[in-house]
Structure 1
Amino acid sequence: MELFSKKRLVQAMIVATAASLAACGGDDDKTKKLTFAGVDAPATDSEKRAILASSATVGDKEFGGSYNTLARSGDVIDGVPFGLVVDQDGNAIQEEDGAERVTDANEHTSLLPINGRLFSVSQMETRPGAMFLFELNQASGTGALSVASMSQIDQSGVDGGWVHCAASVTPWTTHLASEEYEPDAKKLPTATEVAADGYSATQLTYYTENGLTWNPYYYGWNIEVAVETDAADADSEPSVELTKHYAMGRLAFELAYVMPDAKTAYMTDDGTNVGFYMFVADQENDLSAGTLYAAKWVQTSAEGVGAADLEWVSLGHASNADITDYVHGTNGKSKLTFEDIFDAVDPVDDACASGYTSISANGVGQECLKVKSGMEKVASRMETRRYAAMMGATTEFRKEEGVTYDSKRDVLYVAMSEVSKGMLDGDSKDTGGPNHIRLTEANKCGAVYQLDLAKDSSIGSDYVAQNMVGLVAGRPVSEDDPQVAGFEDNNSCHIDGIANPDNVTYMSGYDKLIIGEDTGSGHQNDVIWAYEFDEQQLIRIQTTPYGSETTSPYWYEDINGWAYLMSVVQHPYGESDGDKNTGNGEARAYTGYIGPFPAP
Structure 2
Amino acid sequence: MTNKKLVKKGAALALALAITVPALSPAEVAAQGNLKVDSVQFNGMKAPSTIDEMVKTYTTATVTVKYKNGKEQTFPLTYKSLFKSEDKVATVNGEEIPAGTPIDVNGKPIVDPSSPEKKYFVSDAPDSNSLLNPINGKLYMITHYEYQTVDAAGQSAYGLVPASMSLTELTQDPKTGELKQKSVKKIDFSAVNGLWIPCNGSLSPWNTHIGSEEYEPDARQFLDVNSKTRSQVETFAQFYFGDKAKANPYFYGFTPEISVDNKGNASVVKHYSTGRISHELAKVMPDHRTVYFGDDGGNTGLFMYVADKEKDLSAGTLYAAKFNQTGTENGGSGDLEWISLGHATDKEVENIIHSGITFDDIFETSEVPAEGFTAIKQYSYGKVEYLKVKPGQEKAAAFLETRRYAAMLGATTEFNKMEGLALNQQDNKLYIAISDQSKGMEKDSTGKDPVDHIQLPKIKSGVTYELDLQNGQKDSKRASINSSYVALSMHGLVVGEDLPEADAYGNTANVDKVANPDNLSYSEAMRTLFIGEDSGNHTNNFVWAYNVDTKELERILSNPAGAEATGLTAVDDSNNFSYIFSNFQHPGDEVADKAITAINKDELLKAVDEQIGINKTGGIGYISGLPSFTKMSDVNPSKK
Once residues 476 and 12 of structure 1 are traced to their aligned partners in structure 2, the CA distance between those partners, rounded to angstroms, is 28
Q: Which residue of 2 aligns with 1:232?
A: none
Corresponding residue to 1:65 among 49, 71, 77:
77
Tell me which of 525, 549, 552 is aligned to 1:509: 525
Question: Residue deviations 1:449-496, cap 9 Å, x none?
Answer: 111111025101111101010001101114xxx98xxx4341110011
1:395 counterpart residue number: 413
Give the corresponding residue for 1:316. Answer: 342
Q: CA 1:200–1:523 in structure 2 vs 1: closer, same or farther (change >3 Å)?
A: farther
For the pair 1:111 / 2:111, whether they are aligned, the reply is no
State the distance in 2 between where 1:143 and 1:508 align: 20
Partner of 1:473: 495
Structure 1 residue corresponding to 2:44, chosen from 38, 41, 46: 38
Contact 1:168 1:255 in 2 (8 A): yes
Q: Percent of counterpart pairs with the same letter?
A: 40
**CA 1:357 to 1:575, structure 2 compared with 1: closer, same or farther past 3 Å?**
same
Quick one: distance in 2 between partners of 1:539 and 1:304?
19
CA contact (8 A) 1:31 1:509 kept: no
The aligned amino acid for 1:593 is Y
Q: State whether residues 222 and 230 of structure 2, in contact with CA within 8 Å, keep that contact through their aligned partners in structure 1.
A: no
Whether 2:287 is the aligned partner of 1:272: answer no
| 1:355 Cα deviation from its structure 2 partner | 0.3
Task: Tell me what 2:573 maps to.
Answer: 558
Residue 210 and residue 418 in structure 1: after superposition, are their counterparts in 2 closer, same or farther (change >3 A)? closer
* Whole-Å separation in 1 of the counterparts to 2:321 and 2:302: 6
Rounded Cα–Cα distance in structure 1 between residues aligned with 2:313 and 2:581: 25
* Post-superposition CA distance 1:565-595 (Å, at most 9, x none): 1111111113434961454350321101112
Q: Secondary structure at the match of 1:204?
A: helix
TM-score (norm 2): 0.84
Match of 2:554 among 529, 536, 539: 539
Cα distance in 1 between the residues matched to 2:534 and 2:592: 15
Counterparts of residues 345-360 of structure 1 (less than 5 Å)? 345-347=366-368, 352-360=369-377
Alignment of 1:173-572 (within 5 A): 173-189=207-223, 193-194=227-228, 197=231, 202-209=235-242, 213-229=246-262, 236=263, 238-329=264-355, 335-347=356-368, 352-362=369-379, 364-427=382-445, 431-439=448-456, 441-456=457-472, 458-478=480-500, 487-520=503-536, 522-572=537-587
Distance change (3 Å), C-alpha of 1:46 and 1:577 = farther
- Report the equivalent of 2:175: 141
- 2:246 is paired with a residue whose SS is coil
Q: Secondary structure at the match of 1:466?
A: strand
Report if aligned partners of 2:218, 2:229 keep a CA contact under 8 Å in 1: no
Q: Which amino acid aligns with 1:67?
A: Y
Cα distance in 2, alignment partners of residues 209 and 220 from structure 1: 21
Give the deviation of 1:556 after TM superposition.
1.2
Alignment match of 2:2 (pick from 1, 5, 9) = 5
Structure-2 change in CA distance of 1:31 and 1:267 (3 Å): farther
1:100 aligns with 2:98: no
| Structure-2 separation of matches of 1:200 and 1:550 | 28
- Contact between 1:573 and 1:581, CA under 8 Å: does it hold in 2? no
Contact 1:247 1:289 in 2 (8 A): yes
1:144-197, CA deviations, whole angstroms, 9 ceiling, x for partnerless residues? 111111111111111000111000000001000100100000112377635775
SS in 2 for 1:141: coil
Instruction: Provide the TM-score with structure 1 as the length reference.
Output: 0.89
- Aligned position for 1:593: 622
Aligned partners of 1:597, 1:161: CA distance in 2, in Å?
Answer: 34
Which one-letter code corresponds to 2:52 in the other structure? Answer: S
Structure 2 distance, partners of 1:474, 1:224, is 33
Instruction: Structure 2: state its 5+ residue gaps.
Output: 22-28, 67-71, 148-160, 474-479, 594-601, 630-640
1:332 is aligned to none
Q: Distance in 1 between matches of 2:175 and 2:587?
A: 33
CA apart distance, 1:202 = 4.5
Quick one: distance in 2 between partners of 1:90 and 1:273? 36
Corresponding residue SS for 1:323: helix
Change (3 A) 1:218 1:446: same
- The one-letter code matched in structure 2 to 1:556 is V
Contact 2:223 2:230 in 1 (8 A): no
Q: Report SS of the residue matched to 2:626.
A: strand
Map Cα deviations across residues 494-548 of structure 1 (whole Å, 9 max, x no partner).
011111000111111111111110001x110001000123332210000100110
Q: Measure the CA separation in 2 of the matches of 1:431 and 1:195.
A: 25
Aligned residues: 567
Say which SS state the counterpart of residue 222 (structure 2) adopts. coil
| Amino acid corresponding to residue 285 of structure 2 in structure 1 | M
Q: CA 1:246/1:208 → structure 2, altered by over 3 Å: closer, same or farther?
A: closer
Q: Deviations over 1:50-83 (max 9, x none)?
A: 1121232445555452211111011111412110
Distance in 2, Cα, partners of 1:534 & 1:15: 23
CA distance in 2 between counterparts of 1:111 and 1:191 reads: 42
Mean CA deviation greater in 92-101 or 148-157: 92-101
Task: Please provide the CA RMSD for this pair.
Answer: 2.6
- Where structure 1 has 5 or more consecutive residues not aligned to the other structure, the ranges are 230-235, 330-334
**Cα deviations across residues 84-121 of structure 1 (Å, max 9, x unaligned)?**
12222222222212221111111112101223211111
Secondary structure of the corresponding residue to residue 207 of structure 1 = helix
Distance across 1 between alignment mates of 2:557 and 2:252: 33
- Paired residues of 2:224 and 2:230 also in contact (CA < 8 A): no
> Residues 225, 212 of structure 1: CA spacing in aligned structure 2 closer, same or farther, 3 A cutoff?
farther
What SS does the corresponding residue of 1:380 show, helix, strand or coil?
helix
* 8 A Cα contact 2:582 2:622, kept in partner: yes
With over 3 angstroms needed to count, the CA separation of the structure-2 counterparts of 1:92 and 1:84, relative to structure 1, is same
Q: Report whether the alignment pairs 1:152 with 2:173.
A: no
State how far apart, in whole Å, the 2-side matches of 1:311 and 1:196 are: 36
User: Which amino acid counterpart does residue 247 of structure 2 have in structure 1?
Assistant: W
State the one-letter code of the partner of 1:597.
Answer: L
Distance 1:375 1:596, change over 3 A: farther
Of the structure 1 ranges 564-573 and 185-194, higher mean CA displacement relative to structure 2 is found in 185-194
2: distance between equivalents of 1:34 and 1:466?
29
1:55 corresponds, among 59, 62, 72, to: 62
- Shift in Å, 1:361: 1.0
| SS of equivalent residue, structure 2 residue 237 | helix
The DSSP-based 3-state class of the residue aligned with 1:475 is coil
Question: Aligned equivalents of 1:425 and 1:211: distance in 2?
Answer: 42
Deviations 1:17-36 (A, max 9, x none): 989x99x9x9xxx7553332
Task: Give yes or no for contact 2:41–2:547 (8 Å, CA) kept in 1.
Answer: no
Q: 1:196 to 1:220 in 2, by over 3 A?
A: closer
2:234, 2:75 → 1: CA distance? 46
Letter in 2 for 1:325: N
Letter in 2 for 1:159: N
Q: Which residue of 1 aligns with 2:87?
A: 75
